[in-house]
C-alpha cells in the first residue's frame, strides 16, 4: 500500500492517520496499524513508546496537513471575501468528513490532554486565521465594521464542521453545499 522508499515510522504514522479517520482511536488497534502499514511485529514499539505515542504523531501530522491546506487557500490571491469563499468551496471529501473534526467526537482523544492538544490548537489556529481575514476585510471596507471577526470565524468553522455532519448523515454532499451557500449569502450581505 505504501511506497517502498517510505520508512517504517512513516508507514506506521500514515496507517495510523488513516485508521484514526476511519475508525477512531479505540477502533485503531496495534494489529490493524501493523497490517495497514505492512510493518513487522514489534516495529511499532521499536519506533514509538506505544499506541498513544504513535497516535499523537499521526494526529500531529493530520493537523499540520489541515493547516497547510487551509493556508494554501486562505493565503492565496483575492479579496478577503474571495479567500473565505475559496476556503468554503475548496474540494473536500465531504462524505468522509474532516480528519481533525472527527477526532473531537472520539472520547479517548478528548479525555487525553496530550492527544486533544493538536486538535484544539489546529481549530484555534483556523479560527484566528479566519478572524484576521474578516478584520482585513473590515479595514478594506469589504465587511461591515459591526461584524466581530472572532464570531464570524467561529460561524465559518461551525458551518464546515456541521456541514460534514449533515452530509454524512444524509449520505449526500448537497447538505454541505447548502450550508456553504447559506453562509456565503449571509457574508455577502454583510459587505
Asked whether residue 10 is domain-assigned, the answer is no
At 4 the pLDDT is 64
- Which grid coordinates belong to 92? 473536500
At 87 the pLDDT is 98
Residue among 89, 71, 70, 84 nearest 137 (CA): 84
C-alpha distances in Å from residue 181, one per residue of 118, 175, 185: 29, 10, 6
- Mean pLDDT, contiguous 10-residue spans, the chain (191 residues): 79 96 92 94 90 97 97 97 98 94 93 97 98 97 96 98 96 97 94 79
At 5 the pLDDT is 81
Asked whether residue 7 is domain-assigned, the answer is no
Asked whether residue 20 is domain-assigned, the answer is no
Asked whether residue 51 is domain-assigned, the answer is no
At 85 the pLDDT is 98
At 73 the pLDDT is 97
Asked whether residue 166 is domain-assigned, the answer is yes
Tally of domains within the chain: 1
Whichever domain contains 149, its CATH number is 1.10.357.10
At 191 the pLDDT is 79
At 190 the pLDDT is 84
Q: Residue 86's domain spans which residues?
A: 60-189
Asked whether residue 165 is domain-assigned, the answer is yes
What is the reported pTM? 0.92
Report DSSP state, residue 42. Answer: T
Asked whether residue 3 is domain-assigned, the answer is no
Asked whether residue 148 is domain-assigned, the answer is yes
At 9 the pLDDT is 95
With the C-alpha atoms ordered 155, 82, 144, 121, is the resulting torsion angle positive or negative? Answer: positive
Which residue is associated with the grid cell 514509538?
Answer: 48
Amino acid at each position: 500500500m505504501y511506497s517502498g522508499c517510505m520508512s517504517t515510522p512513516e508507514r506506521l504514522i500514515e496507517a495510523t492517520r488513516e485508521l484514526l479517520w476511519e475508525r477512531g482511536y479505540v477502533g485503531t488497534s496495534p494489529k490493524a496499524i501493523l497490517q495497514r502499514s505492512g510493518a513487522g511485529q514489534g516495529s511499532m514499539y521499536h519506533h514509538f513508546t506505544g499506541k498513544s505515542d504513535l497516535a499523537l504523531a499521526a494526529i500531529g501530522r493530520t493537523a499540520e496537513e489541515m493547516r497547510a491546506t487551509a493556508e494554501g487557500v486562505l493565503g492565496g490571491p483575492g479579496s478577503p471575501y474571495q479567500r473565505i469563499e475559496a476556503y468554503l468551496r475548496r474540494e473536500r471529501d465531504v462524505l468522509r468528513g474532516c480528519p481533525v473534526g472527527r477526532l473531537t467526537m472520539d472520547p479517548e482523544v478528548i479525555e487525553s490532554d496530550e492527544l486533544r492538544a493538536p486538535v484544539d490548537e489546529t481549530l484555534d489556529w483556523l479560527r484566528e486565521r479566519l478572524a484576521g481575514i474578516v478584520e482585513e476585510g473590515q479595514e478594506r471596507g469589504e465587511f461591515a465594521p459591526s461584524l466581530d471577526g472572532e464570531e464570524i470565524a467561529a460561524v465559518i468553522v461551525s458551518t464546515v464542521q456541521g456541514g460534514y455532519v449533515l452530509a454524512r448523515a444524509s449520505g449526500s454532499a448537497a447538505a454541505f453545499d447548502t450550508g456553504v451557500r447559506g453562509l456565503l449569502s449571509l457574508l455577502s450581505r454583510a459587505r
